[in-house]
Structure 1
């Protein structure tokens, strides 16, 4: 027998209408937050970055692919990984469905990682993805946008991630269990795994000049994690006691 509160349809409707007011207030707050994001000052990007893509070498303006706006998902796939991060992979599973819609709204979505383009393309095939994915292996792009770090920075506690500098949870000794677990699934050790981090950065191209407009990291990416809005509406919510998700081709068939 359930231990959760039960009631009549009328009681449920009364409670649901009260909750609806709270949901509407959150929606309005979200709208205002989006306006504040868009009001941030733009920062001109003059540095030249080189990327490898499936079409060949590309610059940052090239990644816009003829559009005015560019959204970059900083996908955790370091040069020494053998597979992409499981968390980033679960986020990226939703990209196939909407990157074409963004492309037809003057926005290019691409993932960027430090792994070689050959590794990225092989992993795309494994995952069945078709969205653009570029390698920044031979540029400072990941380091300049604070999603990759050197071994020296990591050892010295000089990592600046999510707008905080110092030692971060991912760099703890011993490595947190989820970090060790994910590192193992990526075919690398925890320290190497933690030298790349997830994030999203936004850019605009205006009059031939690229501007950086926004970046977010860590839990700032929650809204992109497609399964969680669904779980937040499921009867038992997220119902988590630890890491439960895997790459989509690693689940047992049910």
Structure 2
């Protein structure tokens, strides 16, 4: 019989350790409540620029995306114009949208995904994934660029401002996999592009409010700031072995696991 290498103990020892952990979990919950309050206290920035989006219902403005609600949350989904499929990581996050988008919509909050790919590509991929949440294309506008979710080749060469920090310039190697890290090169290939093109799109989320006909930008988060949106990670963080990613990237689009 194989004996586990993990620390073992009695039920009494487990309960004592669990009660100590419970104290820390409660502290984290209270800290999270405080951070939520501080997010809501951020100053609102009025948006004077006119943004246009292509949706299933036709061309829409940013105000139109509210669909009668006073709050809007946009998930910046990595799906550039040249991608052949959406980012696998963004896809894993978006797998959870169908379940709660209806609840948000009935609590005065509209949730949209927005990408720069043409609408027809988004619609095709959406059908493949079995998703029904609203997804808009910002292909011909500045929305993604203005909200730090897309970058030009020139910006990439000079160093991009992402997650409120200037990134170091990437020295991409020519004729190879794009010079990205293993995960970046792998995901780029899964999207039908090279690593530099893949990384000119970035994940994130932005929140907006609509009052008296004026749209305000209220909050944005990027990188690990959207980690909490990964439903699968919240479950894995409570599993016996946690995220268990010593071997690197393991996830795929949900219809690709049987193809490995």
Question: TM-score, normalised to structure 1's length?
Answer: 0.97
Q: How do residues 4-83 of structure 1 correspond to structure 2 at under 5 angstroms?
A: 4-83=6-85
RMSD, aligned CA: 1.2
Note the C-alpha offset of 1:167: 2.3
In structure 2, runs of 5+ residues without a counterpart are: 173-178
Equivalence for 1:161: 162
Secondary structure in structure 1 of the residue aligned to 2:197: helix
- What do the CA deviations read for 1:31-78 (whole angstroms, capped 9, x no partner)? 000000000000000100000001100000000011000000000000
Note the C-alpha offset of 1:178: 0.9
Match of 1:227 among 232, 238, 254: 232
Equivalence for 1:210: 215
Q: After the TM superposition, list the runs of 4 or more consecutive aligned residues in structure 1 that deviate by more than 3 angstroms.
A: none
Q: Quick check: 1:244 aligned with 2:250?
A: yes
- Separation (CA, whole Å) in 2 of partners of 1:21 and 1:161: 35
Note the C-alpha offset of 1:166: 3.6
Match of 2:142 among 130, 135, 140: 140
Note the C-alpha offset of 1:177: 1.1
Equivalence for 1:89: 91
- Separation (CA, whole Å) in 2 of partners of 1:163 and 1:149: 14
- Separation (CA, whole Å) in 2 of partners of 1:194 and 1:9: 48
Secondary structure in structure 2 of the residue aligned to 1:197: coil
- Separation (CA, whole Å) in 2 of partners of 1:9 and 1:125: 49
Equivalence for 2:128: 126
Aligned length: 251
Secondary structure in structure 1 of the residue aligned to 2:257: coil
Question: TM-score, normalised to structure 2's length?
Answer: 0.94
In structure 1, runs of 5+ residues without a counterpart are: none
Note the C-alpha offset of 1:230: 0.4
